[in-house]
C-alpha cells in the first residue's frame, strides 16, 4: 500500500512542516549528493543526502515551496562546484553566495501576497547565514582540496623512493649499500661518511643508485654541515 500523509505519524509531519527543518534537510541533501559525486563509492554521503532530500521535498509539499528559491539554491551549489574546479576564488563564488542567500529568502515566500492569517514560513536569518557559510566552506575548501589532491602527479617505481628512510648495510664512504623498502640498493652518501646501521634518507635516484644522507643533515653553501 503506498505511503500517504495519513500513514505518516503526525508528530513527524509537524517536524517536517517546520521551515527551518525542511531547509536544513534540503541543504544536507545537496551537500550529501555533491560529496558522493566527488567521492564515488563511499555511499554514506549519497545515502544520507538522498534521504535528507526526500524528507525535505516532503516538507516542501506541506509548506508550499517557492520553486524559484529552490532553483536559486541549486544554482548556488552549481556555482560553488564550478568555483571549486578553478584555481582561485572569484566571481563564481560571489555569485554562489548571492544566489544561495536569495534562494533561502525566497524559499517559502509565496508568489502572491499572503493573507494576514497565513502563518509565518520564513527561515531564521541566523540559519541562512550558517547554511551559506557551511555549504560554501564545504564545497570551496573540502571539495577543492580533494580535486587538488587528485591532480597531483602520482609517483611510482624509483621516484616513489624519494624521501624514504632506510638503513645503511655497509659503510658509505661515500659508496656502499643501503636497505630501503626491504630491498638492497647501491648508494652514495652525499654529505659525509655514513656508518653501517645508521638511518639514511633518499634524496635522489640515479639509475639503480640512490643518493642518500642522514635525515635532516644538509650542507650549507659554505660547505659546513647542519
Q: What is the pLDDT of residues 1-52, one digit of tens each?
A: 344 444 555 676 777 778 888 889 988 888 888 777 767 666 787 888 889 8
Q: Beta strand pairing status for 199-206 and 175-180?
A: unpaired
List the chain domain ranges. Answer: 5-113+121-151, 157-213
Listed in sequence order, the DSSP H helices in 107-157 are 125-137, 144-151
> What is the residue whose three cell numbers read 566527488?
38
User: Among candidates 45, 142, 135, 132, which has minimal Cα distance to 84?
Assistant: 142
Q: What is the pLDDT of residue 204?
A: 86
pLDDT at 192: 81
Q: Which residues contact 191 (CB under 8 A, 6 or more apart)?
A: 213, 214, 217, 218, 219, 225
Signed CA dihedral, 25, 27, 33, 38: sign only: negative
Q: Residue 11 and residue 20: Cα distance in Å, rounded? A: 16
Burial of 217 (0-12, 13-18, 19+ CB in 10 A): middle
Cα→Cα distances 54→12, 160, 165, Å: 14, 46, 51
Separation between Cα atoms, residue 83 and residue 81, nearest integer Å: 5
Q: How many CB atoms lie within 10 A of CB 223?
A: 7
pLDDT at 221: 44
* Torsion of the alpha carbons at 75, 20, 114 and 72, rounded to the nearest 10: 0
- Tell me the CATH number for domain 157-213: 2.40.50.140
pLDDT of residue 167: 92
Number of helices (H), then strands (E), belonging to the chain: the values are 7, 5
- Integer Cα distance of 87 and 96 in angstroms: 16
- Contact indicator for 52, 42 with CB cutoff of 8 Å: no
- The residues of the chain scoring below 50 in pLDDT are 1-6, 115-118, 219-222, 224-226
Q: Quick check: pTM over 0.85?
A: no
pLDDT of residue 147: 65
Amino acid at each position: 500500500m503506498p505511503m500517504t500523509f495519513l500513514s505518516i505519524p503526525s508528530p513527524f509531519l509537524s517536524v517536517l512542516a517546520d521551515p527551518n527543518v525542511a531547509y536544513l534537510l534540503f541543504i544536507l541533501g545537496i551537500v550529501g549528493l555533491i560529496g558522493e559525486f566527488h567521492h564515488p563509492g563511499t555511499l554514506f554521503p549519497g545515502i544520507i543526502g538522498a534521504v535528507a532530500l526526500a524528507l525535505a521535498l516532503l516538507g516542501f509539499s506541506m509548506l508550499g515551496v517557492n520553486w524559484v528559491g529552490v532553483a536559486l539554491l541549486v544554482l548556488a551549489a552549481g556555482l560553488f562546484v564550478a568555483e571549486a574546479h578553478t584555481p582561485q576564488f572569484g566571481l563564481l563564488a560571489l555569485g554562489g553566495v548571492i544566489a544561495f542567500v536569495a534562494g533561502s529568502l525566497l524559499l517559502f515566500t509565496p508568489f502572491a501576497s499572503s493573507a494576514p492569517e497565513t502563518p509565518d514560513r520564513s527561515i531564521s536569518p541566523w540559519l541562512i547565514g550558517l547554511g551559506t557559510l557551511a555549504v560554501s566552506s564545504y564545497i570551496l575548501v573540502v571539495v577543492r582540496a580533494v580535486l587538488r589532491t587528485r591532480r597531483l602527479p602520482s609517483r611510482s617505481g624509483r621516484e616513489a623512493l624519494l624521501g624514504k628512510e632506510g638503513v645503511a648495510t655497509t659503510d658509505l664512504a661515500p659508496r656502499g649499500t643501503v636497505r630501503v623498502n626491504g630491498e638492497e640498493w647501491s648508494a652514495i652518501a652525499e654529505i659525509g661518511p655514513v656508518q653501517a646501521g645508521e638511518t639514511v634518507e633518499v634524496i635522489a635516484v640515479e639509475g639503480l643508485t640512490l643518493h642518500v644522507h642522514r635525515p635532516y643533515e644538509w650542507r650549507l653553501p659554505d660547505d659546513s654541515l647542519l
